[in-house]
Amino acid sequence: MAGEGNGDEGWRRSGIEVSALQFGYDGQPPLFARFNLCVAPGSRCLLVGANGSGKTTLLKILAGKHMVGGRDVVRVLNGSAFHDTQLVCNGDLSYLGGSWSRTIGSAGDVPLQGDFSAEHMIFGVDGVDPVRREKLVDLLDIDLQWRMHKVSDGQRRRVQICMGLLHPYKVMFCSFFCDFSVQAA
Residue 177: the pLDDT is 56
pLDDT tens-digit map of 38-88: 999 888 888 888 888 899 899 999 999 888 888 889 999 988 988 888 888
DSSP 117: B
Residue 104 has pLDDT above 90, yes or no: no
Q: How many residues would you count in the chain?
A: 185
pTM listed for this prediction: 0.72
Residue 35: the pLDDT is 94
What angle is formed at CA 62 by the lines to CA 40 and CA 48, rounded to 5 degrees? 80
What kind and span of H or E run contains 22? strand 16-23
Contact residues for 50 (Cβ-Cβ < 8 A; gap 6+): none
Please give the full DSSP string across 29-90, using - where no structure is assigned: --SEEEEEEEE-TT--------TTSSHHHHHHHHTTSS--SSTTSEEETTEETTT-THHHHT
Residue 26 has pLDDT above 80, yes or no: yes
What kind and span of H or E run contains 111? strand 108-111
Q: SS3 of 178, please?
A: helix
Count of CB atoms situated within 10 Å of the CB of 112:
13
Q: Phi, psi (5° rounding) for residue 53?
A: -85, -5
Residue 125: the pLDDT is 87
Residue 62: the pLDDT is 93
Contact residues for 131 (Cβ-Cβ < 8 A; gap 6+): none
Residue 52: the pLDDT is 85
Residue 136's identity, in one-letter code, is L
DSSP 103: E
Listed range (87-91, 106-110, 126-130) with the worst mean pLDDT: 106-110
Q: SS3 of 170, please?
A: coil
| Spatial separation of the C-alpha atoms in residues 67 and 48, rounded to whole Å | 23
Residue 42: the pLDDT is 85
What percent of the chain shows pLDDT beyond 70?
Answer: 78
- Which residue segments constitute the domains of the chain, with CATH numbers given? 1-90 (3.40.50.300), 99-168 (no CATH)
User: Across residues 124-136, what is the average pLDDT?
Assistant: 94
